[in-house]
A and B are shown apart, each in its own frame.
Chain A
Amino acid sequence: MVNENDDVFELTLHRDVAAKVRAKELEDWFYTPEVKEHFFNPKNLLKDPSELKDFKFNGYGSVGSPACGDKLDLWIVVDPSTEKIVDCKFKTFGCASAIASTSVLTVMVTENGGMSIADALKIKPQDIVKRLGDLPKRKFHCSVLGDKALRVAINDYFRRTNQHERIIVDGAQVIDTVLKVTDKDIEEAVLEGAHDFESVQKKTKVGVHDKSCIPKVIELINFYTKKYYG
């Protein structure tokens, strides 16, 4: 009897897991507890623009626009002696995952005494998503703009501190001027299996508002598809 019950329990458990996997694939509306925590209680939020008077930031980056559905502003405080990001504030217009992903990024760059500029420049959207315990797949690229805003903010820091030679293009070239989508983003999208304009746009939102970049995007997709898939 006991064994029989155990079997039933096993079976139920198994079914629950299967249901969860299915739910994750299908119900892409649902968010992880980490996403919800950062959405409902955003960290390092600039509550009111007046706070900027006392916030001695030396780098500011902004990407997106409300017409696109996402816009985020990031202010960073870099300690010039250590080149570490010691403080950071943000504001985001966008869906819950856009807000949560920016909030978690501000934690990532400021925790443990601050992240070095060199490391901060290496942050990829995937790192942010990982820290959030995953995001619904179709939200992956379009709502994670934090890494791009951070790059813009760090470049702004270089500019403000007269280190123009350090302004990083980093092999990455901005293709979409509105959303700051770079050739690297397109490369990553291709590597993740998007091989035509429509599917790359689905992942990156490239060209939704800056339509002038579309021919260049198609050219890049063809280039990377050939490069990686022959």
Chain B
Amino acid sequence: MEDVVKMKEIYFDNAATTPVAPEVVEVMNRFMTKNGVYGNPGSFNTVGLKALRALDNARSKAGELLNCQASEIIFVGSGTESINLALQGLARANKNSNRKHIITSKVEHPAVLQTCEFLEKEGFSVTYLDVDEFGIVSPERLSDALRDDTLLVSIMYANNEIGSINPIKELVSACKSFDKGILFHTDACQAAGYLDINVNNLGVDLMTINSSKIYGPRGVGLLYVRRGVLLKPLIFGGGQEFGKRSGTENVSGIIGFVKALEISDNLKDSENKRLSELRDYFISKVLRIIPKTLLNGHPTSRLSNNVNISFIDVEGEAILLMLNERAGVCASSGSACTSKSLDPSHVIIACGRPYEVAHGSIRFSLGRYTTKEEIDSALSVFPKIISELRAISPVSLKMEDVSVYYNG
């Protein structure tokens, strides 16, 4: 890859994945080689027993962090797998029940949306809730959609593209006041490390967290499942993870994940304070120094690390390439060209923004290692890059035409 950028990179893509924290790597290394703990937790011998103890300790620690029982935590291979286990596992367990209705929102991650589309083919009916112009689901909207045969509500805690935060507590109580039997799952992959993940405060029945977004190793995630909630497994075999997810446990990965969760929970308040200041500085400066820009998502009810801006008259993929090559800035875009599909960001479209706005959207996701110097260095090249691209573009839209929302 000799053509990969040689200049100093500025990483604004922490919502895609985070680097693994050195402290996490250090802990994981103790659970790999012959000199450390390497056994199979299922083995009936002292080497296996050491691994089992380590795994149990990690599960208890995760339970403490989520304020639940250790036995309510299922470790899985990713956030996506966790979501699939929640949705498909519940659907399988309720194949013969009268509850065949699922509610989700239009701005969920593809892991939720694609699973729901699959379940529709399997005979479930799915309601995809509209969101407001900030991408937020209102409890009233959810209440209106609840039915006697509703099995599950799955609403993300915070949006991965625009960082908007859903009022999970209020959504859960809207759900439970209609019918206590309706289960509530939340995808907290982006929320972990930034928001309260105490499951009893939130009132959720199921919750998904992914390790690779919180400075932990890749290939690990968890699903919290409240005691008494029945799930059918997706993966059969040796009966690991309470029979809900077979396969030899990824001990070092799980231990690294829980360590990462612990660190991010400890740093939560200070990081939120630091990052929200950087975020607001970033947003206000971009909107001020570059004409024809729009903020996507809520101005305040958003993750402290999320900045999502649309640059009008230019296309996102072209912006990304130029930012990357000229300034080393690594970000991501809601443009159709950076997705595998033909359509631009379903999230920004669901907010009611016109297609033109979605095509020019860029997500800058800050993180633990982001500094103000990096932001200033990026901001110093933005105006030139955008005006250069605008000089190539034949498009000159009127702000009053593109600042509208089409969802009322």
Chain B residue nearest to A136 in the complex (CB): B337
Q: B317 to nearest A CB, angstroms?
A: 4
Give the residues in chain B near A53, CB-CB below 8 Å.
Answer: none
Give the residues in chain B near A40, CB-CB below 8 Å.
Answer: 322, 325
Are A94 and B318 in contact, with the CB atoms below 8 A? yes
Partner-contacting stretch, out of A62-70, A153-161, A168-176, A213-221 = A62-70
Are B321 and A208 in contact, with the CB atoms below 8 A? no
The one of B314, B356, B391 that contacts A48, using a Cβ cutoff of 8 Å: B391
- B342-388 interface with A by 8 A CB criterion: 342-344, 354-356, 359
B330-343 vs A, Cβ < 8 Å mask (1 yes, 0 no): 00000111101011
Are A39 and B318 in contact, with the CB atoms below 8 A? yes
What is the total number of residues of chain B having a CB less than 8 Å from a CB of chain A? 29
State in angstroms the CA–CA spacing of A27 and B304 once bound together. 31
Say if the beta carbon of A184 comes within 8 Å of chain B: no
Are B391 and A99 in contact, with the CB atoms below 8 A? no
Given A23-B1, A39-B318, A92-B359 contact (CB < 8 Å): no
Given A67-B355, A94-B318, A62-B335 contact (CB < 8 Å): no
Are A30 and B3 in contact, with the CB atoms below 8 A? yes
The one of B314, B344, B355, B392 that contacts A42, using a Cβ cutoff of 8 Å: B392
Give the residues in chain A near B355, CB-CB below 8 Å.
Answer: 66-69
Are B1 and A91 in contact, with the CB atoms below 8 A? no
Say if the beta carbon of B313 comes within 8 Å of chain A: yes
Say if the beta carbon of A110 comes within 8 Å of chain B: no
- A42-63 interface with B by 8 A CB criterion: 42, 45, 47-48, 62
State in angstroms the CA–CA spacing of A201 and B356 once bound together. 20
Say if the beta carbon of A180 comes within 8 Å of chain B: no
- A1-32 interface with B by 8 A CB criterion: 23, 29-31
Chain A residue nearest to B4 in the complex (CB): A30
Say if the beta carbon of B81 comes within 8 Å of chain A: no
Are A39 and B321 in contact, with the CB atoms below 8 A? yes
Among B340, B342, B359: residue with most chain A CB under 10 A: B342
Are B337 and A92 in contact, with the CB atoms below 8 A? no
State in angstroms the CA–CA spacing of A70 and B355 once bound together. 11
Are B336 and A71 in contact, with the CB atoms below 8 A? no
Are A95 and B395 in contact, with the CB atoms below 8 A? no
Which secondary structure dominates chain A's binding surface?
Answer: mixed
Q: A223 to nearest B CB, angstroms?
A: 23
Are B394 and A71 in contact, with the CB atoms below 8 A? yes
What is the total number of residues of chain A having a CB less than 8 Å from a CB of chain B? 37
Chain A residue nearest to B340 in the complex (CB): A138
Are A66 and B391 in contact, with the CB atoms below 8 A? no
The one of B1, B321, B342 that contacts A96, using a Cβ cutoff of 8 Å: B321
Are A67 and B356 in contact, with the CB atoms below 8 A? yes
Chain B residue nearest to A205 in the complex (CB): B342
Give the residues in chain A near B3, CB-CB below 8 Å.
Answer: 30, 33
Are A93 and B354 in contact, with the CB atoms below 8 A? no
Given A40-B325, A95-B337, A69-B359 contact (CB < 8 Å): yes
Are B394 and A92 in contact, with the CB atoms below 8 A? yes
Are B395 and A93 in contact, with the CB atoms below 8 A? yes
Say if the beta carbon of A88 comes within 8 Å of chain B: no
Say if the beta carbon of B114 comes within 8 Å of chain A: no
State in angstroms the CA–CA spacing of A40 and B325 once bound together. 9
The one of A67, A96, A201 that contacts B318, using a Cβ cutoff of 8 Å: A96
Q: B182 to nearest A CB, angstroms?
A: 35
Say if the beta carbon of A190 comes within 8 Å of chain B: no
State in angstroms the CA–CA spacing of A99 and B388 once bound together. 12
Say if the beta carbon of A73 comes within 8 Å of chain B: yes
A sample of 16 inter-chain contacts (CB < 8 A) reads A29-B338, A36-B325, A39-B321, A62-B394, A66-B355, A66-B356, A67-B356, A69-B335, A69-B337, A91-B392, A93-B314, A93-B392, A95-B337, A96-B317, A98-B318, A201-B342
- Per CB-CB distance, the 10 closest pairs between chain A and chain B, nearest first, are A91-B394, A95-B317, A95-B337, A67-B355, A73-B394, A93-B393, A93-B395, A66-B356, A66-B395, A96-B321
Additional A-B contact list (15), CB under 8 Å, known A39-B318, A66-B313, A69-B355:
A40-B322, A42-B392, A47-B391, A66-B359, A66-B395, A91-B393, A92-B393, A93-B313, A94-B315, A95-B317, A95-B337, A96-B317, A138-B340, A143-B337, A201-B342
Q: B interface vs A, CB < 8 Å?
A: 1, 3, 313-318, 321-322, 325, 335-338, 340, 342-344, 354-356, 359, 391-395, 397
Q: A interface vs B, CB < 8 Å?
A: 23, 29-31, 33, 36, 39-40, 42, 45, 47-48, 62, 66-73, 91-96, 98-99, 138-139, 142-143, 201-202, 205, 208
